Every structure is written in C-alpha cells, then in structure tokens.
C-alpha cells in the first residue's frame, strides 16, 4: 500500500556543505542571529555554538546545565528557552549552547525541532520536505 504525505515546504540544500544544513534564526529578547545548522536525527537536543549564545546576549552559565554524550566524547552545555525559526516556521524551544568554544557545529535535534515538525528527506536529490506538525494542509 502506498502512503502519501503533504508538506508545506521543499528546501533544496546544495552539495557545497557537508550534512543537511538549513537556515535558522535564533532570537532572545531583542537580539537575533541567523545561521546554518545541520539537521541531526541522532541528536536528542538542538545544540548551538558558545559564540551564538554570546551574540544573543545570554548569560550562558545561567542556563540549564546538561552534559551531552556524543560519539567523539562528552561536553557541557547550557539550555536556554529562545525563539527558534527554521525556514518559515517559528516556535519557542529549549536549546543548548556548548560551554566550550571548541564545539563548532550547530545541530537541530529531536527535542526542540524534530518533535515539532513533519519531516522527510530525499538525500539523493538533496531535498528536505518540512511542515509544522499540526499543519492540517
């Protein structure tokens, strides 16, 4: 039996960058920052670089402390509730910022991103399909 899904957006990511990069805007108070973050279905949470927290004016160590375990080792992060925009979708999310400036990747993980969207990927074509989870279209 065939299954059909409908998505509000089709985003084509180019071959120039490794991973599955998508445009993201982070907002905290009056500050905002636009960047690229990789979709990472293996990451439990969304993680951003330390300098991103600093650019948003966040007091990093005042966030929720969380130790992240990854394939390459473990590192400390601090969680902050911010506004997260991905393509044209915006939601409040608890995201984590690395304590160390040695962490240079930003990822969109399951909690805070994938748990709020309908998502499909055809990597061969470099196409990402995305809709808000509750989109009734």
Q: What's the pLDDT score for residue 18?
A: 84
- Residue 106 near residue 52 (C-beta atoms within 8 A): yes
CATH superfamily of the 23-132 domain: Acid Proteases (2.40.70.10)
HSE-CB of 109 using CA atoms within 13 angstroms: 17
Residue labelled with tokens 């400390």: 76
HSE-CB of 65 using CA atoms within 13 angstroms: 3
Write the pLDDT tens digit of every residue in 61-103. Answer: 999 999 999 887 899 999 999 999 999 899 999 999 999 999 9
4: Cβ–Cβ under 8 A, 6 or more apart, which residues? none
- Residue 28 near residue 78 (C-beta atoms within 8 A): no
pLDDT band at 136 (very low <50, low <70, confident <90, very high): confident
82: Cβ–Cβ under 8 A, 6 or more apart, which residues? 26, 27, 28, 56, 58, 92, 93, 95
**pTM: predicted TM-score of the whole model, two decimal places:** 0.92
Q: What's the pLDDT score for residue 48?
A: 98
Rounded Cα distance between 59 and 50, Å, is 10
How is the chain split into domains, by residue range?
A: 23-132
């Amino acid at each position: 039996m065939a299954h059909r899904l409908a998505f509000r957006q089709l985003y084509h990511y180019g071959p120039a960058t490794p991973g599955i990069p998508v445009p993201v805007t982070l907002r905290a108070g009056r500050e905002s920052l636009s960047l690229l973050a990789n979709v990472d279905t293996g990451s439990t949470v969304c993680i951003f670089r330390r300098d991103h927290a600093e650019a948003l004016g966040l007091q990093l160590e005042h966030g929720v402390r969380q130790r992240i375990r990854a394939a390459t080792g473990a590192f400390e992060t601090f969680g902050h509730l911010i506004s997260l925009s991905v393509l044209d979708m915006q939601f409040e999310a608890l995201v984590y910022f690395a304590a160390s400036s040695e962490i240079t990747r930003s990822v969109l993980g399951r909690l805070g991103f994938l748990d709020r969207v309908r998502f499909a990927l055809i990597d061969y074509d470099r196409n990402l399909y995305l809709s808000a989870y509750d989109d009734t279209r």
